[in-house]
Structure formats: C-alpha cells, structure tokens
C-alpha cells in the first residue's frame, strides 16, 4: 500500500534574486533565462489564434483515423509513401506520440458542444477500446493497442499509463456532466491507478515500465513516473476519493526532492534515456493542479522549479539559418521552440502542452516572464501548421493542420541539416496545440 514519506529532503536553500546569483541551489539557469528573454530575440505574432488552430488540428486528427479491430483509432502519424503521398503509419498509442486518449477527449468535448455526432461516436469507440479489450490482468492498460493485437509486447511505460488514467477520467467527467454514463472508462482509470499506487516505491516512485499482464516492473528508473501525478489528480477530480490526492501529493514531493531539485529530469522522452525536457512537464502540470486545490506554497515552488527546468530547453533566440536551408526557405524561427533531450537535440513543438501552465504561473506570481514564455511557445508551436488549403514542403503536399515533428537546428545525423525540417507528421503536436487552445484561448491572443 501507499506509504507516507518518512522524511523529505530539506527544501532547496533560497539564495536570492540578484542577477548573477542562483535563485536557489542548482537553479542558476533561472535568472539567466529571464535575462535571455530580456536581451535576445524578437517576439513574433502567432500565425494562428486558438480558434483557427483548433479547427486545423481537428482536420488533421480526422485524417489519422483508421479502423482497427472494429474500433476507431488514431494513427501515430503519417509518412510519405513511394509516390510522395502521406499515409497513416501503423501504430496506435494512448499517450506520448500517438495521443489517442487526448484526441478522443477533444473530439468528445467538441462533438457534445457543437452537436457533431460523428465526433462523439469516434471518441466513444476509441475510449471503449482502451477500457474494454485493452485492460490487462493486473488492471494496467495496454497503451499500445497494436502491440496488444499482435502480441508483440505486454510492457507499457508510465508516461502512457499516466495519460491513460488522466484522459479516461477527464472523458468520464465530460460524459457525466451531460448525464451520460460510461462507467467502464472510470473503472479502467481506477484499476490502473490502483495498481501503480499499490506498487509505489520510496526509492523509485512509480517506476518507468511495467508488464501489464504479470505485474513485473521491467524498469524502475527515471522521472517518467511523474506522468502518473496529473492522472491521479484527474481521477480525484472525478471521484473525490482522497487516496488519489494523497498519492499525487506524495509522488510530487518525491520527484521534486529526488530529481527536480537536482535540475535533472530524465527518461520521459521514450526514444532516449537521458536528461530531457518532457519528464518535467507532468511535474509542472501536476504541481499547479495541486496548488489550485489547496494553495500550498510547496506546490507553487515545485511548479516554478519545473517551469525553469522546462524552459532551460527553450530557445531564447533565433538562429541565423544556413543559406538554402529549410529554415530559411520556409521562414522557420527557433525562438520559442524546445529541444527534446541531451541525446535527441532537435527542436519540436512540445512546449504547446505547457502553454496553459506558463500563463497560470504568470497569473499567480505576476512575473511577466512566464506570460512571455507562454506566448513564445505558442507562436513557435503553430508557425509551421499547414493552412486550410494545405502546403508543400520538399515538394510533398501536406493537408490542413499537418506539421512535422523535427526541426533540426544542428546536424543530428541529417545531411540537409542544420536548418532541416523532417517529414514525420506525427500525431501528438496537434493534440497538444488543440488542448492548449481550449484551455487558454484568451491569454494566447
């Protein structure tokens, strides 16, 4: 069962806010980030506002739809075929790159709000798949649907599992608020959370990877388990059961003390195994949700730390594009983009997920730097989305809403880099942008 931390490390020693001095131990980057915002780069207006961006993202998501096992699933993304036509790639993930759960919840919200029944039907089919046939013997969920069908792997990571708990709980609330009952969605979220909370470790937290059939922890390491925190909070918001909130609080303290305080979050960018940007995202999101609930200063401190850590991966300047490069040809600006990790050091639009939290930090603290970061991340994330009529890059046509994942500002194994834009039209950026647009539409404008 979940145990309360016997002893926490002392909070990072506060040193002060003078220029040139770290705000707290291991956080010398914080003042440098503020200074970089003030001194470098030139902010640029966003190409799309929230409403238009949402419409484009929905259009792209619609093209990702495919029937799998009689269910409506979203492909992990699109790649060009031999004829140069973008086609859906095999693979359906709940979170991380695939974002089936977030897309389904967004379809559900928009469909119920606008009366578009096809969106609702798609969402229900998708979420029914995860909450019925994808549930393993342990109560954990096969968050890679195609792996489950092929029997290729029963091991799932806590990033995808955290998304599954959170999005199933959020979707259940959306339905319940309209008098519609989808009890299996909530039950699937609770069963997965039950397993992870009961296997929580004082040394490893929620771990990195679990076998959903045997219950074996196949990898205990990394900050990636922090993805379970926002999921637990969503589950508490749905059920008001105190155990979920208790577990979220303990986990937030654990990952803050062990990893974030050391300025070292790792293993959440699943195609790499090193320090990265993505592992800090759930700590930022979760800590601010906890702050909204009880106003505890520790959660605000955690959120600020996570925000500074996350933004240490943000570009505070525009690189001078190489002549003839994609960046020059298509006018891509690096300012506001975020690099992935120490190993995969290209830029992507991942910052779109935490744009709402940037604005929340500004509203809570009054520090204008957070608002500026939010606006830059939004502008950077939406700048290369294909408009309604589509666009061509490298001579290949991209339909409305499409955007590639990788912006190679350094060589990173690509002969056309630096300044190269790849062809991987992955699912997740448009899910994050659409979600952000719904949460902070007025602030983004």
User: Tens of pLDDT along 66-80?
Assistant: 999 999 999 999 999
pLDDT, tens digit, for every residue of 342-353?
A: 888 899 999 999
Residue 10 above 50 pLDDT? Answer: no
Please report which confidence band the pLDDT of residue 19 belongs to, taking 50, 70 and 90 as the band edges. Answer: low
Please report which confidence band the pLDDT of residue 41 belongs to, taking 50, 70 and 90 as the band edges. Answer: confident
pLDDT of residue 271: 81
pLDDT of residue 244: 98
Q: What angle do CA 274, 246, 178 make, to 5 degrees?
A: 100
* Packing angle of the helix pair 158-176, 228-239 (nearest 10 deg): 20
pLDDT of residue 443: 65
Please report which confidence band the pLDDT of residue 414 belongs to, taking 50, 70 and 90 as the band edges. Answer: confident
Both tokens of 296, joined, read 């505890």
Residue 2 above 90 pLDDT? Answer: no
Residue 6 above 60 pLDDT? Answer: no
Helix, strand, coil: what percent of the chain each, to 5? 50, 10, 40
pLDDT, tens digit, for every residue of 208-221?
A: 999 999 999 999 99
pLDDT of residue 158: 98
In the DSSP assignment, the letter for residue 314 is: B
**DSSP of 363-411, one letter per residue?**
HHH--HHHHHHHHHHHHHHHTT---TT-EEETTEEE-TT---S-EESS-
Mean pLDDT of the chain: 93
Residue 329 above 80 pLDDT? Answer: yes
**Mean pLDDT (whole number) for 195-206:** 98
pLDDT of residue 412: 78
Both tokens of 17, joined, read 């806010």
**Mean pLDDT (whole number) for 190-204:** 98
End-to-end CA distance of the chain: 46
β-bridge partners, 65: 74
Residue 173 above 50 pLDDT? Answer: yes
**304-307 CB contacts, 8 Å cutoff, 24+ apart:** 304/361, 304/365, 305/12, 305/24, 305/27, 305/256, 305/260, 305/261, 306/260, 306/280, 306/281, 307/354, 307/357, 307/358, 307/361, 307/370, 307/373
Residue 17 above 80 pLDDT? Answer: no
pLDDT of residue 13: 44
Pairing of strands 77-80, 155-157: unpaired
Please report which confidence band the pLDDT of residue 445 belongs to, taking 50, 70 and 90 as the band edges. Answer: low
pLDDT, tens digit, for every residue of 90-103?
A: 999 999 999 999 99
pLDDT, tens digit, for every residue of 348-372?
A: 999 999 999 999 999 999 999 999 9
Both tokens of 13, joined, read 């020693």
pLDDT of residue 123: 98
Residue 15 above 80 pLDDT? Answer: no
Please report which confidence band the pLDDT of residue 413 belongs to, taking 50, 70 and 90 as the band edges. Answer: confident
| pTM of this structure | 0.94
β-bridge partners, 391: 398
Alpha-carbon distance 301 to 292, whole Å?
Answer: 13
pLDDT of residue 3: 33
Both tokens of 368, joined, read 């204008």
pLDDT, tens digit, for every residue of 286-307?
A: 999 999 999 999 999 999 999 9
Residue 312 above 90 pLDDT? Answer: yes
């Amino acid at each position: 069962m979940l145990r309360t931390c016997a002893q926490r490390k002392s909070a990072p020693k506060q040193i002060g806010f003078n220029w040139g001095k770290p705000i707290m131990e291991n956080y010398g980057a914080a003042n440098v980030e503020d200074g970089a915002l003030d001194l470098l780069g030139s902010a640029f207006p966003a190409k799309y506002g929230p409403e238009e961006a949402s419409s484009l993202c929905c259009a792209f998501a619609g093209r990702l739809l495919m029937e799998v096992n009689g269910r409506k699933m979203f492909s992990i993304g699109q790649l060009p075929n031999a004829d140069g036509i973008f086609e859906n790639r095999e693979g359906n993930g709940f979170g991380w790159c695939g974002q089936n759960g977030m897309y389904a919840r967004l379809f559900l919200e928009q469909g119920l709000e606008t009366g578009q029944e096809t969106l609702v039907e798609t969402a229900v089919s998708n979420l029914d798949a995860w909450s019925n046939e994808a549930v393993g013997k342990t109560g954990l969920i096969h968050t890679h649907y195609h792996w489950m069908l092929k029997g290729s792997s029963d091991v799932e990571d806590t990033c995808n599992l955290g998304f599954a708990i959170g999005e199933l709980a959020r979707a259940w609330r959306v339905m319940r608020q309209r008098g519609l009952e989808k009890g299996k969605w909530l039950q699937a979220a609770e069963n997965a959370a039950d397993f992870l909370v009961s296997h929580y470790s004082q040394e490893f937290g929620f771990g990195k990877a679990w076998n959903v059939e045997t219950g074996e922890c196949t990898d205990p390491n990394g900050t990636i388990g922090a993805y379970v925190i926002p999921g637990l909070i969503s589950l508490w918001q749905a059920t008001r059961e105190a155990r979920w909130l208790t577990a979220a609080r303990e986990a937030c303290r654990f990952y803050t003390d062990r990893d974030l305080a050391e300025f070292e979050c790792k293993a959440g960018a699943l195609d790499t195994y090193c320090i990265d940007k993505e592992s800090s995202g759930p700590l930022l999101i979760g800590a601010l949700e906890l702050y909204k609930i009880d106003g505890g200063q520790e959660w605000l401190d955690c959120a600020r730390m996570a925000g500074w850590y996350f933004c240490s991966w943000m570009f505070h300047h525009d690189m001078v594009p190489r002549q003839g490069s994609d960046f020059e040809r298509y006018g891509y600006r690096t300012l506001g983009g975020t690099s992935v990790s120490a190993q995969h050091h290209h830029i992507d639009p991942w910052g779109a997920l935490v744009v709402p939290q940037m604005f929340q930090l500004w509203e809570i603290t009054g520090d204008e730097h957070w608002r500026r970061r939010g606006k830059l991340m939004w502008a950077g994330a939406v700048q290369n989305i294909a408009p309604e009529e589509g666009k061509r890059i490298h001579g290949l046509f991209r339909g409305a809403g499409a955007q590639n994942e990788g912006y190679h500002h350094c060589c990173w194994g690509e002969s056309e880099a630096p300044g190269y834009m790849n062809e991987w039209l992955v699912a997740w950026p448009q899910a994050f942008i659409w979600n952000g647009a719904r949460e902070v539409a007025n602030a983004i404008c």
